[in-house]
Amino acid sequence: MKPFLETLPPEVDTKLQNIKPPEEQPRIQVATDLIDDGSFGEQWLVVTDERLLVIPSEGVDGVVEVPLKVITDTKIEEFVGAGRLEVEHSGGEPTYLYYSNSLSPKFTEVAEGIKQLTKGEALTLPTEIERSRCDTCGRLLPEKDGVCPACVKKWHTLKRIISYLSPYRGQVTLLMTFAVASPLINLIPPLIVRYIIDDVLTVRASFGLLIWPAMGLLGILFSTFLFEIIGGFMRAEISSRTSKDIRTQLFQHVQYMPLRFYGKRQIGSLIARFTNDADRLEMFLLFGIPFMLSNTLMLIGTLGLLLYLSWKLTLYALLPVPLIVLGSLLIWGRMRRIWIRWHAKWAQLSSHLNESISGLRIVKAFAQEDREAVRFNVRNEELWSVSVTGERNWFIFFAVMNFLISFGMFFIWYFGGRQILRDELTFGVLMAFIRYLWQLYRPLQFFSQINNFITRAFAGAERIFEIIDTRSESFDDPEAIPIPQVEGRVAFKDVTFGYDPGKPVLSEINFDVKPGEMIGLVGKSGVGKSTMINLICRFYDVNRGRVDIDGMDIRKIRLEDLRRHIGVVHQDLFLFDGTIAENIGYGKPEATLDEVVSAAITAEAHEFIAAKQDGYDTKVGERGNQLSGGEKQRIAIARAILHDPKILILDEATSSLDSATEKKIQSAIARLVKGRTTFAIAHRLSTLHNANRLIVLDDGKVAEVGTHEELMARKGIFYNLVHTQQQTSAIIAVGGGKDDPSQGKR
């Protein structure tokens, strides 16, 4: 079922059929979870090609019908904890539909869909929307489109974890052999103890009858020791290799995720997958699976020997077991919920740490160290609270379990002692029985402890698999068309796009750029200039329309080829923690030093690089913090030059340069753009004089197109922007300048 054509309840369907003609098919059919007075309840929104209907689930009256032809506007309003769909029409008061925040993504799309239908356009609602609630149980998800912890199939998760062991089948088989042999060998010593007590010590037999059983116990002790050492080495090898493979797969998958994916998640939460979650999964592989197998065998073998020695005493020994098993089952669900909360709190703390440390300069600039400490303490306190709750639950359960086990030992000593006094049981059998009983309780203790251990591991595994299962960018699309060469023609055709598809940033954008043409993108902040750049690079796909390169829809072009022909110099500069040469050559790893130097010369960067003590081997530091803003900017330009793209994007490429350096860069850019299709965004509009055309954006649409001189002569939006910028520059100029009224009054 499509998310915008939900199944109507019978009573609502009956009302609908009584209103609309049979040939009129619903295009949108969704339910709200709030009614008009703000209380929880269900109403249905049904939109056909002719009308919009609001139908309550209960009651006969109250159906609202609005013909599509009278609808003038549809918009979304957001409130605290809820939202409202408002449909304005010429027939009277607006029609309102309320919903909780969990349905906000859906109704944002619905509003856009109603707009399309009222304009007579084809309905282009997405086939999938971000989920904030579980489709099965209705619980809120930890993250949008995330995994519902309550509905994950545990057996499926276990099988998937085990599947990562398949490359090491031989080692795993050998490890499992040791895991099986160790508990089987440990079943022998109690039988030897029974023989020593009953057949040697009790009858005062010769020393010769004692030495062989004692040597047998010593041999078993050494065998167990060797098995533990060898098994430990093998467990460490297999678990570390497997966790390495999982981290590698996770990292590779994260690298190919679209930017939209990162917009929904905090960086700290993603990093927690590589650290805490992967570590817990490694511990499960190291101890969980081998110990589960060996303890299961120990439990079965011990129970069989207990029944063999005395079935009556075995029944007494098992009296506390149902309570232990029941307690384990109850604590499983509780601990699992607690550790899921712990993961969420840890991710929040990690995100706060990442944000605070990355923004440390801003914190210090505004003297907000105390404020950040308070914010950290709040996060830390929340994490501590969840941790304490989990540990307390665990320790209480463990204490109760030990208490119940003690009762089992009491029953054995009491009833076993009575049987010895009545000559129904030998002392050797009782001692062997007690030894086996400890071997029975030890696996039970293990399973109660592994419960907590597995809970954490499975919660971490589910979070890792959730990322791995998320659809990545289509680099491996077999139907994608390779384009080894491009001319550089770029066209936007009826492009509409919004990061939230129901709230378009760009609407019906149309323009055509010839190969080698330089285009300046102009407009106030937030009008969609950087968004257009994101669409050209295919960091996002358009909601409607298409972006063409050389007449081909970029969604059909192989991503690797598309981005190889595009070079970008972003306003938000990023350099990797390596040398200057490595950063310049990042887009072309095989570049020679001569090529790197040539690119640096073109970008006017060679002079300052050569002046440094280590030259091109100078370390730039984390995010390039060892360099000035202007130096970083020139290295970023050199990186784009060496990449040698056919389509060049300059996003505020000279924003961090002083006037002298900017003049050099402008001449370098003038040489660079020759033969390349260039899109330039500049805060200072005067820097766009050399552009062949300027595209002025306003309210998400193309408002003006022309050369700098043409737009200034038109005295429209661009003229006003330039005039406003000149006035602002005069006001903030150091010393006031000639337009400062204070000049001449001194």
Give the number of C-alpha atoms closer than 13 A to the C-alpha of residue 414, restricted to the C-beta side. Answer: 8
Model pLDDT, residue 206: 67
Q: Which two tokens stand for residue 141?
A: 């998800």
How many residues are present in the chain? 746
Torsion over CA: 16, 17, 20, 25 (sign): positive
Specify the residue for token string 């029974």. Answer: 194
3-state SS record for 30-69: EECCECCCCCECCEEEEECCCEEEEEECCCCCCCEEEEHH
Residues in CB range of 585: below 8 A, 6 or more apart: 591, 595, 596, 639, 642
Looking at the DSSP bridge assignments, the partners of residue 82 are 79, 100
Structure tokens, 479: 């139907």
> Measured between alpha carbons, how far is 519 from 536 in angstroms, rounded to an integer?
13
d(CA 596, CA 606): 10
Which residue bears the tokens 């490694």?
Answer: 282
Give the CA diameter of the chain.
124
In sequence order, what DSSP letters do the residues of 403-422 get, joined into one string? HHHHHHHHHHHHHHHHHHHT
Instruction: Centre a 10 Å sphere on the Cβ of residue 448 and count the other Cβ atoms it contains.
Output: 21
Instruction: Tell me which architecture the domain covering 490-565+645-732 has in CATH.
Output: 3-Layer(aba) Sandwich (3.40)
Residue 312 amino acid letter: K
Report the C-alpha gap between 196 and 74 in whole angstroms: 90
Half-sphere exposure of 658 (CA within 13 A, CB side): 4
Q: What is the secondary structure of 632-656 as a DSSP string? A: HHHHHHHHHHHH--SEEEEESTTTT
Beta bridge partners of 95: 87
| CATH number for the domain running over 10-118 | 2.30.29.30
Instruction: Give span(s): CATH 3.40.50.300, the chain.
Output: 490-565+645-732
In the chain, CATH 2.30.29.30 covers 10-118
Mean pLDDT in order along the chain per 10 residues (746 residues): 76 84 86 81 88 78 84 84 86 86 82 85 68 66 62 75 85 83 83 80 72 85 85 83 86 80 71 79 77 81 83 80 73 71 76 74 74 84 84 77 74 80 81 80 69 72 80 74 88 87 81 90 86 90 89 89 85 81 86 89 85 89 80 84 86 64 68 82 74 88 89 87 72 46 37
- Rounded-to-integer distance, Cα 72 and Cα 94, Å: 10
Containing H/E element for 189? Answer: helix 189-195
Distance CA 438, CA 391 (A): 25
The pLDDT score that the predictor gives to residue 512 is 93
Tokens 């993250």 label which residue? 143
Q: Of 296, 314, 294, which is closest to residue 305 (Cα–Cα)? A: 314
Say how far residue 524 (Cα) sits from the centre of its chain.
Answer: 32
Half-sphere exposure of 665 (CA within 13 A, CB side): 25
Residue 352 to residue 222: CA distance in whole angstroms: 51
Integer Cα distance of 148 and 157 in angstroms: 13
- Phi, then psi, of 96 in degrees rounded to 5: -115, 145
Using alpha carbons, select from 347, 316, 720 the residue that is nearest to residue 522. Answer: 720
Tell me the CATH number for domain 161-468: 1.20.1560.10
N-terminal to C-terminal alpha carbon distance within the chain? 78
CA 1, 13, 100: angle at the middle one, nearest 5?
Answer: 65
Give the dihedral sign, CA 136/140/141/143: positive
For residue 476, CA distances in Å to 135, 191, 285, 471, 483 come to 30, 62, 31, 12, 15
Bridge partners, residue 44, by sequence: 31, 55
**Matching residue, tokens 């390779």:** 482
Query: What sign for the dihedral angle of Cα 178, 181, 185, 187?
Result: positive
**pLDDT confidence of residue 536:** 92
Could you tell me which residues are beta bridge partners of residue 64? Answer: 54
Cα distance between residue 481 and residue 494, in whole Å: 23
Identify the pLDDT of residue 735: 46
Kindly provide the b/e burial profile for residues 220-236, where b requires at least 16 CB atoms within 10 angstroms of the residue's own CB: beeebeebeeebeebbe
Q: Which two tokens stand for residue 493?
A: 């055709």
CA nearest neighbour of 195 among 215, 185, 183, 209: 209
Where are the domain boundaries for CATH 1.20.1560.10 in the chain?
161-468
Collapse the DSSP code of 675 into the 3-class scheme (helix H, G, I; strand E, B; otherwise coil) and give the result.
coil
Task: State residue 510's pLDDT score.
Answer: 92
Q: How many CB atoms lie within 10 A of CB 10?
A: 8
> Which one-letter DSSP state was computed for residue 589?
T
Q: What pLDDT was estimated at residue 553?
A: 92
Tokens of 689: 């004089």
Fill in the DSSP letter of residue 686.
G
